[in-house]
Homo-oligomer: A and B are copies of this chain.
Amino acid sequence: MSSTIKDVAKQAGVSVATVSRVLNNLPGYSEETKRRVEQAVEELGYQPNAIARGLVNRRTETIGVLFPSVSSSFSSEILHGIEEVAHKHNYSVIVCNTAEDGKRTMKYLQVLREKRVDGIIYSSGVLEPEYYEAVQAMGVPLVLVATKSDWDDVPFIKVDDRQAAYDAAAYLISQGHREIAMIGGGESDSIAGQPRYEGFRQALRDHGLPLREDHVQDGGFTFEGGCGAAERLLTASPEVTAVFAAGDEMAIAVISVAARLGIAVPDQLAVIGYDNLKLAEMSNPPLTTVAQPLHEMGRMASEKLIEMLATGQPAASEVVPHRVIERQTVKKR
């Protein structure tokens, strides 16, 4: 069907070695030969077979990327960044949707191993020891994005969650709020849950504000969860004038239930989110939020992985800057 390097060699009247040399432009042939080979390639419409190449080179120019949920806006912005730089460096990316399922994740890691990907990016979830070991066993570099781990040979790209949450709360305080609530992702989530609670609490403490435990609710990072949490919060604690939601979807949820309850945002209730997803600017009113540069983080993760591939060296983690984006859901009072 499609032609091979042998066909090209025959057509050009040279050996396959020579064809390979001109294709990879290594030295060792005359201009004339090069011309003939190129012409033969042209005539036959030859495309090298990356599979065969991969077999001998032991590199596939492919990386695997694992997400808990590919369809989330969060993941897809990261994916976009990853794909962008991967493509620039001639790498392809295989996406895997772990659905936060350990069995599934292990299955994916096995597939990625069999397919001999050159490296792996693991996004926004806990890197279980089991996963770590699987990646170790396959002997390819791993980088984490929007998460971190205790293994210091695996670099991560991440915002300082604790500080970001601190800054969100501090921002609310700076705007004159005193009764501040938080909707988080759950204390059990050691990556994106706990640290944000801690930052939030620390900010209140540092500003001499009382810590009311009924003012912190768990929204599980989803819109629906956020709605539930917001409803509990807003009905039980009418005194709160501001809420920090540890994810934009949950922030949007509080705006929604506030609207339903007849509470005006930002006049009666200030809301600040976390992430700065595209939906934040499309929100009504536009959502003030602390931004993580997700696209950029994806790019950096890719960049880092490819660097590790090139140098063979472990690379350093990066804590990327967050910042609060002031839009229209927080008003001075």
The prevalent SS among residues of A at the interface is helix
A281 CB contact (under 8 Å) in B76, B92, B223: B223
A220 vs chain B, min Cβ distance (A): 15
Complex Cα distance, B1 from A83, in Å, reads 29
Chain B residues whose CB sits within 8 angstroms of the CB of A48 once the complex forms: 114
- A70-B80 in contact given A55-B55, A111-B92, A139-B1 (Cβ < 8 Å): yes
Complex Cα distance, B255 from A295, in Å, reads 27
Q: Is A137 a contact partner of B76 (Cβ separation < 8 A)?
A: no
Task: Tell me if A237 counts as interface (CB < 8 A to partner B).
Answer: no
- A249-B71 in contact given A60-B51, A95-B93 (Cβ < 8 Å): no
Task: Tell me if A158 counts as interface (CB < 8 A to partner B).
Answer: no
A129 vs chain B, min Cβ distance (A): 17
Complex Cα distance, B52 from A116, in Å, reads 10
Q: Residue on B with the closest CB to A53?
A: B114
Q: Is A51 a contact partner of B115 (Cβ separation < 8 A)?
A: yes
A100 vs chain B, min Cβ distance (A): 14
Task: Tell me if A284 counts as interface (CB < 8 A to partner B).
Answer: yes
Q: Is A138 a contact partner of B2 (Cβ separation < 8 A)?
A: yes
A87 CB contact (under 8 Å) in B49, B80, B97, B255: B97
Q: Is B282 a contact partner of A49 (Cβ separation < 8 A)?
A: no
Chain B residues whose CB sits within 8 angstroms of the CB of A72 once the complex forms: 76
Chain B residues whose CB sits within 8 angstroms of the CB of A139 once the complex forms: 1-2
Q: Is B279 a contact partner of A255 (Cβ separation < 8 A)?
A: no
Interface residues of A in 189-215 (CB under 8 A from B): none
Q: Is B71 a contact partner of A79 (Cβ separation < 8 A)?
A: yes
A50 CB contact (under 8 Å) in B45, B87, B116: B116
Flag A46-80 by CB within 8 Å of B: 1 or 0 each. 01111110110000101000000111110111011
Chain B residues whose CB sits within 8 angstroms of the CB of A223 once the complex forms: 278, 281-282
Q: Is B279 a contact partner of A50 (Cβ separation < 8 A)?
A: no
Task: Tell me if A20 counts as interface (CB < 8 A to partner B).
Answer: no
Chain B residues whose CB sits within 8 angstroms of the CB of A96 once the complex forms: 83, 87, 92
Task: Tell me if A285 counts as interface (CB < 8 A to partner B).
Answer: yes
A101 vs chain B, min Cβ distance (A): 11
Chain B residues whose CB sits within 8 angstroms of the CB of A269 once the complex forms: none
Can you pick out 18 interface pairs between chain A and chain B where the beta carbons lie within 8 Å of each other?
Answer: A1-B139, A45-B137, A47-B113, A47-B114, A48-B114, A50-B114, A50-B115, A50-B116, A62-B115, A70-B79, A73-B76, A73-B278, A83-B97, A93-B95, A95-B95, A223-B278, A223-B282, A259-B284
Interface, chain A (partner B; CB < 8 A) = 1-2, 45, 47-52, 54-55, 60, 62, 69-73, 75-77, 79-80, 83-84, 87, 90, 92-97, 108, 110-111, 113-116, 137-139, 223, 249, 252-253, 255-256, 259, 278-279, 281-286, 295
Extra inter-chain contacts (14) besides given A47-B110, A62-B115, A87-B108, CB under 8 Å: A47-B138, A49-B114, A49-B116, A52-B55, A71-B76, A72-B76, A73-B73, A80-B97, A83-B95, A83-B96, A92-B96, A92-B111, A92-B115, A279-B279
